[in-house]
């Protein structure tokens, strides 16, 4: 755990995810709210590790890289990416179709 006065980047936390259409919107899955970065350390901060990401990959079947906007399906692919660009849990937007232009 970090000192509460210390500044952190949420993208290095296990609980961070981003909005799929608006990657500058950072969401804390643990707090269930949008957060600004950088911010003072919160009590819920947990550092991401390769072991945790690999375990999540095997459980969920894929992870997502925010930097290149691509899914990751195996450990070999995962190691080519920076951990701060891989959310532990991917946020789905249930109304994205309303924002997408029609194909007419």
Place of tokens 């000192």: 3
Residue 16: per-residue pLDDT: 82
Q: What is the dihedral of CA 70, 72, 31, 100, to 10 degrees?
A: 30
Number of domains in the chain: 1
CA atoms in the 13 A half-sphere facing the CB of 6: 8
pLDDT by residue for the chain (104 residues), tens only, comes to 444 445 567 777 888 887 766 767 778 888 888 877 666 667 788 888 899 999 989 998 999 888 888 899 999 999 999 888 888 776 666 665 666 666 65
Looking at the domain assignment, is residue 65 inside a domain?
A: yes
Whether residue 87 lies inside any domain: the answer is yes
Beta carbons of 42 and 54 less than 8 angstroms apart: no
In a domain, 52, yes or no: yes
Whether 62 maps to a domain, the answer reads yes
- Enter the pTM of the model: 0.67
Q: Which domain holds residue 33?
A: 7-91
Place of tokens 């390769």: 50
User: Does any domain span residue 96?
Assistant: no
Residue 97 lies in a domain: no
Q: From CA 59, how far away is CA 81, in angstroms rounded? A: 19
- Is residue 99 one of the residues assigned to a domain? no
Residue 42 pLDDT: 74
């Amino acid at each position: 755990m970090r000192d509460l006065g210390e500044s952190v980047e949420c993208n290095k936390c296990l609980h961070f995810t981003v909005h799929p259409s608006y990657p500058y919107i950072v969401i804390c899955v643990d707090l269930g709210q949008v957060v600004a970065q950088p911010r003072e350390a919160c009590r819920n901060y947990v550092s991401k590790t390769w072991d945790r990401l690999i375990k999540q990959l095997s459980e969920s079947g894929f992870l997502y890289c925010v930097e290149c906007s691509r899914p990751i399906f195996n450990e070999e692919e995962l190691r080519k990416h920076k951990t701060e660009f891989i959310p532990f849990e991917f946020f789905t937007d249930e109304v994205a179709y309303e924002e997408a232009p029609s194909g007419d």
